[in-house]
Structure 1
């Protein structure tokens, strides 16, 4: 099989390594089949799309809506690398899944509006699938409503005109969307559990997501939120592109059975 490519953007080792471990766990892949490249460490270079089954982009402290003069050289280079990658990915309809930072990157690239109108504090939210989301072969493995962890200063306030809205939350109108048949992005973190959230809270305590003196309260609220795991949308994304099946139907099947304990 061709491996998947995971592109990380976190400069801090602890949350970067924890995120990669979570991606391995949630995709069901191992280090040989989900290969990591840390974009903040070095330029991406040319990606041969035919060498990969798909591409996953993780989250991080960068915001595409930051004023250009406030962006570091690394952030500007990462954004340029991802923009060039999407120039190839989207026309080819190459399997792509962007989480959190990935939704801003894909949304802006495709002509949507990414701004600070709908931030969500670090913690749990209720995500609700649209009719298109319930019918989608990736998002459709989730229940119509489920809990997930978020934490972002920016979000997509206007969807690209050609994109399909898959999920929303009460505080952010765009929680997931799709372009074409195989290019996905989510605002919520499909890989994140309470332990991972605690790692990120410690790493980004002074980055403006919350009052630093309230870090312990943020973690405690996450642990008592009832969100133990997110439905296996990453596993569905991987399995769809490892073992292609028809795109009709809701995407519910054997993966749908994995959700009960997590949501009960």
Structure 2
């Protein structure tokens, strides 16, 4: 049975011609969404607000989150993100999109101590257990990394959902319904190969062939982990009031969550055992 369609399309903002919505677009439409894709580099006009859209997805790109001269559409993207958080409109920001969400909500983005490229794992934080999108994810889901900047400070009131040894902030939620990812989930092996060609000069000291081989191998695992998250995002867009989580606005409220990530192997085994036990409980059990 096909999923019920959304009442309004999801606005998808493309920030780089080499980073289209990719597989994420397929997962969203399979879950019942219609997509309104608009490309900043192609000169597309963006709406003043999201009143005609059910949600907002902001994709990645080579630009810096503050590069308004090189990417003159970014101020409007940040305004849309600020308005979405304030009005509880669902948001999903991917890589640069996640950085833009952090900046729009009062956080900060800086150059990372070390760039991250290729297929890697991130570790869920304890706060992810009750998150509408992250609660069903594996403890250490596969992702595709491709970034030189990172979120160095989360907005006040944001909840840290995933980390890695490479970057402390890998995923977060600000407000009730706005999620930011430092990594990519939308890629195909062909997209990653294109990025490697574009970044050949800065990747001269990397084993690019191995990065591409591992990335291609990881893509089925990335889909297995993140396709359900895309479907959960469409569910949130379909009925935002049903999404769990308190309302916390940027620039106010408690500091970002600092709960320790689940990275210790013994803790991971214990958490997996707990998940297995929970799955055996009758429906409605606490």
- Bin for the TM-score computed over the shorter chain: 0.7 to 0.9
1:254 is matched with: none
Q: CA deviation at 1:35?
A: 1.5
Cα shift readout 1:14-35 (whole Å, capped 9, x = no counterpart): x34xx33322222234998112
1:121 is matched with: 116
User: What is the rounded CA distance, in whole Å, between the counterparts of 1:223 and 1:45 in structure 2?
Assistant: 34
Q: Is the 8 A contact 1:2 1:53 kept in 2?
A: yes
Cα shift readout 1:84-111 (whole Å, capped 9, x = no counterpart): 2123212112111110001111111222
Cα shift readout 1:151-206 (whole Å, capped 9, x = no counterpart): 1010012211211111111111001111111111101112224343223323x234
- 2:164 is the counterpart of 1:158: no
Cα shift readout 1:55-93 (whole Å, capped 9, x = no counterpart): 10111111125xxxxx57341x12211122123212112
User: What is the rounded CA distance, in whole Å, between the counterparts of 1:147 and 1:222 in structure 2?
Assistant: 10
User: What is the rounded CA distance, in whole Å, between the counterparts of 1:92 and 1:244 in structure 2?
Assistant: 11
- 2:206 is the counterpart of 1:205: no
Match of 1:149 among 144, 149, 154: 144
For the structure 1 residues 3 and 207, does the alpha-carbon distance in structure 2 shift closer, same or farther, using more than 3 Å as the test? farther
- 2:181 is the counterpart of 1:186: yes
Q: Which runs of 5+ in 2 are unaligned?
A: 1-6, 246-278, 280-286
1:253 is matched with: none
User: What is the rounded CA distance, in whole Å, between the counterparts of 2:25 and 2:218 in structure 1?
Assistant: 24
Q: TM-score, normalised by structure 2?
A: 0.73
- 2:164 is the counterpart of 1:169: yes
For the structure 1 residues 184 and 171, does the alpha-carbon distance in structure 2 shift closer, same or farther, using more than 3 Å as the test? same
Which secondary structure does the structure 1 equivalent of 2:141 belong to? strand
User: What is the rounded CA distance, in whole Å, between the counterparts of 1:64 and 1:239 in structure 2?
Assistant: 28
Q: Write the mapping of 1:210-221 to structure 2, written as runs, cut at 5 A.
A: 210-211=203-204, 214-221=207-214
Q: Is the 8 A contact 1:205 1:215 kept in 2?
A: no
1:260 is matched with: none
Q: How many residues align?
A: 237
1:235 is matched with: 231
- 2:14 is the counterpart of 1:8: yes
Q: Which runs of 5+ in 1 are unaligned?
A: 66-70, 250-256, 258-264
User: What is the rounded CA distance, in whole Å, between the counterparts of 2:201 and 2:142 in structure 1?
Assistant: 25
Q: Write the mapping of 1:92-131 to structure 2, written as runs, cut at 5 A.
A: 92-131=87-126
Q: Which moved more, 1:46-55 or 1:162-171?
A: 46-55
For the structure 1 residues 207 and 239, does the alpha-carbon distance in structure 2 shift closer, same or farther, using more than 3 Å as the test? farther
- 2:34 is the counterpart of 1:44: no
| Larger Rg, first or second structure (1 or 2) | 2
Q: Is the 8 A contact 2:94 2:180 kept in 1?
A: yes
User: What is the rounded CA distance, in whole Å, between the counterparts of 2:49 and 2:68 in structure 1?
Assistant: 27
